[in-house]
Structure 1
Amino acid sequence: FACIDEAHCVSEWSHNFRPCYLRLCKVRVVGTHCGHEGHQLVLLSSSPQVLRDHLGVRCFLGLTATATSATARDVAQHLGIAPEEGIAVRLAAVPPNLCLTVSMDRERDEALISLLRGERFGCLDSIIVYCTRREETTRIAALIRTCLQGILLRDPSGAPGSAQKKKTKATKSVHRPLKWIADAYHAGLSASERRRVQNNFMSGQLRVVVATVAFGMGLDKPDVRGVVHYNMPKNFESYVQEIGRAGRDGEPAHCHLFLDPE
């Protein structure tokens, strides 16, 4: 048995970002079956040639939490599965613990900094800011570091750093101040640099990751408290995928989208 998670990558990214997905999905269909659980797309086929030849796999399962009907049909075609025989699709619902907001701002950089300093995002730790272009991630990360340098995490009541001061006073010990530390992440960075940024974010040492969609696939950090889209995602499917990385622990989380005027 072999399972390929994030199966929508077979359709979206397999031709460049993950070409190995196409190699995995060269199949000779002997029989099919399907089923579903939650909001997953389930594809089941037998005897994929590459996995069978190298690993002796006899059963193949592809899963994704975000796929439109068109994407599902394309994935099925790559897997050699007849659409009427091997696809189960359920529409994904936005988790109720996510607070979604949008705005259309002429000065987006200024609006982003105001958002991060405001009542909703100013008290959050572990935030992902998504940008479309690699060079944009570097610029925005530098902007956040410069504009919010030395500013402590706000507590929910709105007083900057007061929660930190109370905790420090109560424990009578030195505690790391939660500052606006931001770094960029994209596929053009070296593997060691990507690993450093991700490890720092996962451990809580890095408060904000400004990233392209290269960041987050397979990420399992349950306490991401905020997701900001500096640029609009390419489609609604991508938007659902990316905001779904916030609040996986069931606690409240905030997501904001900056709309393009056009």
Structure 2
Amino acid sequence: MPSTMTPSLFSPQPADTLAESLKRAFGFESFRPGQEAIVRDALAGRDLLAIMPTGGGKSLCFQLPAILKPGVTLVVSPLIALMQDQVRQLIDNGIAATFINSSLASGEAAARFAGLLRGDFKLLYLAPERLLQSEFLNVTLPRIAASPGISAIVIDEAHCVSEWGHDFRPEYRQLAQVRSRCPDTPWHAFTATATPRVREDILVQLALRKPATHLASFNRPNLQYAVREKQRHTYDELLALSRTSDAAGIVYCLSRKRVDELSAKLQEDGVRALPYHAGLEADERRRNQEAFIRDDAQVVVATIAFGMGINKPDVRWVVHYDLPRTLESYYQESGRAGRDGDPAQCILFFGAGDIRTAEFLIEQKIDPVSGEPLEAEQRIARHQLRQVLNYAESTECRRAIQLRYFGESFDPPCNACDNCLQPRELKDWTVPAQQYLSCVARLAQRRERFGAAYLIEILRGGQSQKLIDRGHESLSVFGIGKEHSVDEWRHLARALVQQGLVDETQDGYPVAILNAQSWQVLRGERKIMIAEALQRPRKKKGKREPSPGEELTADVALFETLRSLRKRLADENGLPPYVIFHDATLREIAARKPTTLDEFATIAGVGQRKLEKYGELFIAAVRGDAISG
């Protein structure tokens, strides 16, 4: 990133249509679904809330209005990496943008403020902490409002405003106080993930005024989801995936120890892998992140500390080596694959040990002063864990489960998840289900209710002191399920909840309660069919199919030549390769082989600035001319 930002070469033409401005600035012939309506509402000066999935192009929805309207747009962003990434992409497109954050020396920050007041920039990115500083609120903000004027205030990653969101930031709660300083300035809130509860919280906390609300589908049709059993060979599957191609991937783990062990093992096996977690020094985290962005590393093995500030569009696969904490965080983390719209894989490895680890971590949620359990937090965490387990063990379409979580319906099959592509065999578990429900009924007769763990202890004939003290060894169901393991009983218990055949209380510790469907099972009116355990994916015989994101082009060798040229240019300019061109643009070049600037200008992703800056170089590569480096 250069130390100073110069005004852009791009300037909209007064006679341009909106589509022409889009092409001139960003190189796209048309808007993606939902984008144009948001842009038009932004240009009309309305407050708005836009929920668009990762890869849906939400940044363009506030960047294009920013360059078409007079004044500067302030963009509130939660992470330094996130704002730096967007700014360098804008600059490479010839659009005047800058950021001001703690990474800058005071002299550089002052120079950027001076340029801002001169009207040199169309977009200013800053953290909420900076915006809320007294000097900025009372001195700088009024000066910007006076000249060059504030066209809009954009709250990016707006889910951070809500305590119910997956990445709550307390500073975001205070942003509404800025409204009184700029009462007539429109506010635009954007985020990729928000449940109905979080969406309502955003509207309230930011005090949006009669906002235009745009809710795009959360469906990411280019992503293929699979859940696989965690076994001895799980690492071998991960290694094979890493070696399938040179495609970028992310591996998420629950602990720092697992991250270090896994990244070291991948390195030993020849994979360009790097670790990322909060236990590393800040400089090492930054270097590893940059290496991944610049394609110098293929794989990052990380805790959930990695990802929010990453805008790498060509991640072809994301693996969760351990169980994610919540269904929302899984959607967010797995969604870092395929941001460019090309096919990508999302794989979750799941085993019984993951459940025990998750439950142990929940039990560690205690008050640091009193040492007492934080019961409210534990209750929420257990509810979230049950949602993740339901997702992992269900035979239902994975996509349908995820979208239902966000309040969206979907009619399967999606033909892009393991449950739709390779349905698992169902086995008859009617008798054990009747035994389990009978245990619930016997306890209910005694006005007693318990959770699954205690019910299983009774069915397996446990000899704990609490069981004996309660006299439960005298129940007729005591010990009748010894032939099944604890894990099998737990699998059954969760399946009964998933299928609506038994209810669970949501307050406090979850206990089982019979419902009308439970009695149908007990009376033998309904069979209980449960999927067999997760299996390793079956190998397909015959010709190897393309890996995720791989497509046949007119000239595969040319595509690799273009990638090498892109990497060299990126290194020379201190940019990530994708800032120059996405893989999809390179594939189109390799397929269509443009030999003139006019032909090159028709390639998707080639705007005015990129045509001038890179056109001749890539045309030379297409022609096979020697390119000096």
Q: TM-score range by the shorter chain?
A: 0.5 to 0.7
1:116 aligned to which of 238, 248, 252 = 238
Structure 1 residue 13, shift from structure 2 partner = 9.1
Q: Which of 245, 250, 253 matches 2:336?
A: 245
Distance 1:238 1:2, change over 3 A: same
Flag structure 2 segments of 5+ consecutive residues without an equivalent.
Answer: 1-151, 356-629
- Aligned to 1:48, the other structure's residue is in SS state helix
In 1, Cα distance between the equivalents of 2:274 and 2:212? 42
| In structure 1, distance between residues paired with 2:168 and 2:185 | 27
What is the one-letter code of the residue matched to 2:222?
Answer: N
> Are 1:130 and 2:252 an aligned pair?
yes
Check 1:87–1:233 CA distance in 2 against 1; reply closer, same or farther (3 A cut): farther
* Alpha-carbon distance between aligned partners in 2 of 1:57 and 1:121, rounded to the nearest angstrom: 55
Match of 2:348 among 254, 257, 260: 257
Question: Relative to 1, partners in 2 of residues 1:16 and 1:98: Cα closer, same or farther, differing over 3 Å?
Answer: closer
Residues in 2 aligned to 1:17 and 1:187: alpha-carbon distance in whole angstroms: 18
Q: Confirm or deny: 8 A CA contact 1:14 1:22 kept in the other structure.
A: no
> Within the alignment, does 1:97 sit opposite 2:188 as a pair?
no
Matched, 1:26 2:212: no
- In the other structure, the counterpart of 2:528 is none
> Could you give the per-residue CA deviations for residues 136-189 of structure 1, whole angstroms, max 9, x where no partner exists?
32232123223x2x3xxxxxxxxxxxxxxxxxxxxxxxxxxxxx0211112343
Aligned residue number for residue 289 of structure 2 = 198
Query: Cα 1:251–1:89, aligned 2, differ >3 Å: closer, same or farther?
Result: closer
In the alignment, which of 151, 154, 177 is matched to residue 3 of structure 1?
Answer: 154
Over 6 Å off, 4+ runs: 13-17
- What is the letter of the counterpart of residue 48 of structure 1? R
Q: Please tell me whether the aligned partners of residues 221 and 248 of structure 1 are also in contact (alpha carbons under 8 angstroms).
A: yes
- Please identify the structure whose Cα radius of gyration is greater: 2
User: Which of these residues, 51, 65, 72, is aligned with residue 199 of structure 2?
Assistant: 72
How far did residue 15 of structure 1 move?
11
TM-aligned CA distance change 1:16 to 1:253, over 3 Å: closer
Change (3 A) 1:191 1:59: farther
Any idea what SS the aligned residue of 1:129 has? strand
- From 61, 66, 69, the counterpart of 2:188: 61
Q: Which runs of 5+ in 1 are unaligned?
A: 28-46, 151-179
Asked if 1:48 corresponds to 2:179, the answer is yes
Question: Closer, same or farther in 2 for the Cα pair 1:125/1:119, shift >3 Å?
Answer: closer
Distance 1:257 1:89, change over 3 A: same
User: Does the 8 A contact of 2:160 with 2:167 survive in 1?
Assistant: no
For residue 92 of structure 1, report the CA deviation from its aligned partner. 0.3
Specify the code of the residue in structure 2 equivalent to 1:129. Answer: V
Structure 2 CA distance for partners of 1:18 and 1:85, relative to 1, 3 Å: closer
More strand by share: 1
Deviations 1:6-50 (A, max 9, x none): 111222599997443233x234xxxxxxxxxxxxxxxxxxx625x
Q: Distance in 1 between matches of 2:160 and 2:243?
A: 31
For 1:260 and 1:188, locate their aligned partners in 2 and report how far apart those are by CA, in whole Å.
26
> What residue identity is the alignment partner of 2:154?
C
Higher RCO, 1 vs 2 (CA within 8 Å, ≥6 residues apart): 1
Are 1:210 and 2:336 an aligned pair? no
Give the Cα separation in 1 of the matches to 2:242 and 2:216: 32
CA contact (8 A) 1:115 1:122 kept: no
Letter in 1 for 2:282: A
Q: Across the two proteins, how many residue pairs are aligned to each other?
A: 202
Q: What is the 5 A alignment of 1:114-193?
A: 114-118=236-240, 122-146=244-268, 148=269, 150=270, 180-193=271-284
